[in-house]
Chain A
Amino acid sequence: QKVSVEVLHHLEHLALVDFRDSEGVERLQKAIQFADQLHEVNTDGVEPMDSVLEDRCLYLREDDVTEGNCTKELLKNAREKVEEYFVAPPGNIPLPKLEEQDTFLQGS
């Protein structure tokens, strides 16, 4: 079962990845096939495990102020800043729609 172009496009939007070429898409398909093997196991009545930490104790921290006050250090990472604010574009820049794209996916 192949992954449709619409699904690939949707994934690129959600995760901001670029499948780039047929090899990339093929790798994705193989990864899905590999994971699908899990369906062969009968899991009726079994609680799913979502973390190997599930039996660990979740550590609770006391409500004390122990960090912060490092504005200068944090802003060192900023490409652009204005008076101690990070600068970002005015809104999310939408990725081009499928029809408008000049990429590999368009051709497939």
Chain B
Amino acid sequence: LAPWIPVVGLEIHAQISSNSKLFSGSQVQFAAPPNSLVSFFDASLPGTLPVLNRRCVEAAVMTGLALNCSINKKSLFDRKHYFYADLPAGYQITQQRVPIAVNGSLSYSLCIDNKMSQMVTKTVRIKQIQLEQDSGKSLHDDTRSQTLVDLNRAGVGLMEVVMEPDMCCGEEAAAAVRELQLILQTLGSSQAVMAEGQLRVDANVSVHHPGEPYGVRTEVKNINSMRFLAKAVDYEIQRQIEELENGGTILNETRAFDSKLGCTVPMRDKEGKQDYRFMPEPNLPPLILYDAKSLPANMNHQQVINIDWIHERLPDLPSVKREKLVEQYGILPEHSFTLLNEDGLAEFFETVVKQTQMKPKKVIGWILNDLLSYLKQHSLTVKESPVSSFLLADLLNLLEKKAISSTAAKQVLVELWKGEGKTPLEIVKEQKLELLQDQKELEQICQAVIDGQENE
């Protein structure tokens, strides 16, 4: 049987972290009373007009720069038409012709064979980033055969990041999305919390034989966790291979991932090819961005977005942070990945290092093996850790001074997890875990043991 090459591309929608919506002044907030965060424009009442939120543009520029994109100094808005109850206007304002950023790249890492020690770096091309409106939320009430519509989310700003089909499996897709998530959170352009719908991923999947043209692709939607992303992509790849090997064909359709059954199913309401009748948004002139060279002399600052100004103020991206950690502390690259993967762990590690004489290379072991595994076992975040960085540093200092043994240190740590407010030194004294350093005392104890033996 000829081998199959799976091809995976992604369309990722990230909710922009802003106070108000993309084209209106209503608030952006998760979980508010239904239809309380909705303006007349969001409800698509006649006579209302879109007004672009500056912060959303800045977020998109930051993200484009972080993903090595070319920022289009002139980008355009379009209307994408389709009918659905949670899209009151009957169209979504998006950027179809000329989006705000194009032609970037994202590097991410994978462990080979699940061994952290063997990491390989891959790159996925970013086709474009566009600004667009989010839709409202539909709650399906099948018992009463109706849909309840909440427009709180309608009009919230989204950045759609389109990744070219450079990935080949669920693991790669999940790793790429994870790295994007970290970048967005570092920039602050999106909080990218998948559980709150701030990061949604649609996967485009197809398979073909080497040397042959790409196969028909399907789109898999409704993936709302990182875990399900890998599963959904891998399931769809397998499904397509089996279908084709059994002589069937793949339909160019949209499928939803059913997390309970672990499979993809065709989506109703999305049958047939959609004709979105794209047209320029007549109420918005082109979006013009500037850089240091093209900055106009007498324009109101508030009306000008300077790409270079934003570039200068970009924070260190995760990849740079990892390199710095490795260089500064002599830890392994895979350690730096784990540090950045847990919210607050890198800061915790650095705080401990600052307060202890123990070498960072030794400290990292305590952080990753002892601290992190305990937190994971008890489903705690770093912020919720009963053992603070100060307490851990105290403990490691005792160990470093050889006041206690390594085994004793682990015992103290077990006690510290109880969070009873005792210091490491107090626990050591309580449990008599001190290492004896006094030569004379040691001789006396040994002598006593030998004498004890002789008496038997």
Contact = CB atoms under 8 A, between A and B. Distances in A.
Interface of A: 10, 14-16, 50-51, 53-71, 74-75, 77, 82-92
Nearest to B277: A14
B238 to A, nearest CB: 29
24 contacts: A10-B275, A15-B277, A16-B83, A50-B280, A51-B282, A51-B285, A58-B52, A58-B285, A58-B288, A59-B51, A60-B302, A61-B54, A62-B55, A65-B27, A71-B34, A71-B35, A77-B43, A82-B148, A86-B85, A88-B85, A88-B149, A89-B146, A90-B145, A92-B83
Interface in B83-133: 83-85
Contacts of A83: 34
A61 B305 CA distance: 12
Q: What 9 A-B pairs have minimum CB-CB distances, sorted nearest first?
A: A66-B25, A68-B26, A88-B85, A63-B55, A85-B148, A67-B39, A50-B280, A60-B54, A86-B149
A57 B36 CA distance: 32
Nearest to A13: B275
B172 interface: no
Contacts of A60: 52-54, 57, 302-303, 305
A14 B81 CA distance: 9
B268 A91 contact: yes
Contacts of B346: none
> How many B residues are at the interface, by size bracket?
35 or more
Contacts, number: 139
Contacts of A82: 146, 148
Interface of B: 18-20, 24-27, 33-41, 43, 45, 51-57, 76, 81, 83-85, 138-142, 145-151, 268-269, 275, 277, 280, 282, 284-288, 302-303, 305
A16 B408 CA distance: 77
Contacts of B275: 10, 14
Contacts of A89: 85, 145-147
A82 B57 CA distance: 36
A103 B87 CA distance: 29
A50 B38 CA distance: 30
Nearest to A68: B26
Residue of B24, B41, B85 with most chain A CB atoms under a 10 A cut-off: B85
A16 B81 CA distance: 12
Contact of B53 (A54, A61, A91): A61
A68 B156 CA distance: 13
B287 A91 contact: no
Contact of A58 (B146, B150, B280, B286): B286
Nearest to B303: A60
Contacts of B45: 77
B83 A88 contact: no
B35 A65 contact: no
Contacts of B51: 59, 61
A27 B149 CA distance: 38
A104 B353 CA distance: 81
Contact of A64 (B19, B147, B277, B285): B19
B38 A74 contact: yes
B147 A90 contact: yes
Nearest to B147: A88
A92 B83 CA distance: 7
A70 B157 CA distance: 21
Contacts of B24: 67
A63 B26 contact: no
A91 B269 contact: yes
B290 to A, nearest CB: 12
A14 B141 CA distance: 27
Contacts of B139: 85
Contacts of A75: 35
A15 B33 CA distance: 33
A41 B55 CA distance: 42
A87 B25 contact: no
Given A10-B275, A16-B83, A57 B19 contact: no
A52 B250 CA distance: 45
B52 A69 contact: no
A86 B20 CA distance: 22
Nearest to A62: B54
A103 B441 CA distance: 107
B38 A70 contact: yes
A90 B138 CA distance: 9
